[in-house]
Amino acid sequence: MNLKSSTMVLKRQLRISKIRSLKNQKIMRKIIFAIVIFTLTSCAGNEFGLLKDTGTLKTCRRTSIFNRITITDQKYNIYQFSIRPNSDGRNSIDLYHTNADYIIRKPKNYLDSNSDIIDNFKLNPNSTYTVENSSVLAASTNEIIFTTDANIKIISIDDRGSGCK
């Protein structure tokens, strides 16, 4: 092999290694991009608030939806709201008018897997409720406690510091 041909072989190998390097960089960029997107979308939390005048539960982020919430009254009646199959869910739930996008289950206790499905949820007068939002499984559960008066209007809300700011 002469010097000229060995130089050409080295140049060709250098080009090939540059091409491989560029392909590896592109792959790495795609992987990093996917990780960033996953991290940003999985950072959604369970923060939510309750609007006192309308009785509406609202997620703190417009892009978040209520996937799973549990409402418990002072008599320990449990109501579990979950999204109906083939439904998009909502970022707000009106406690005075139940949304058709959700299935409401009324288990006998938290361990009851054979719970009854009920048609609607109604607030009771002079009652205290605890609402837990566990829609995002990787995030901590947030809760709000509220009280109704004799006319079933919400009179007090304790968001435990987890409400929308």
Helix (H, G, I), strand (E, B) or coil at 155: strand
Q: Which of 117-121, 133-137, 149-153 has the highest mean pLDDT?
A: 149-153
CA distance readout (Å), 125 to 78, 152, 155 = 17, 5, 11
Q: Quote the pTM value.
A: 0.67
Residue 22 pLDDT: 66
Q: What angle do CA 130, 133, 134 make, to 5 degrees?
A: 130
Residue 80 bridge partners (DSSP)? 70, 105
Token pair, residue 114, equals 């054979």
Cα distance between residue 88 and residue 67, in whole Å: 9
Highest mean pLDDT among 107-111, 124-128, 134-138, 140-144: 124-128
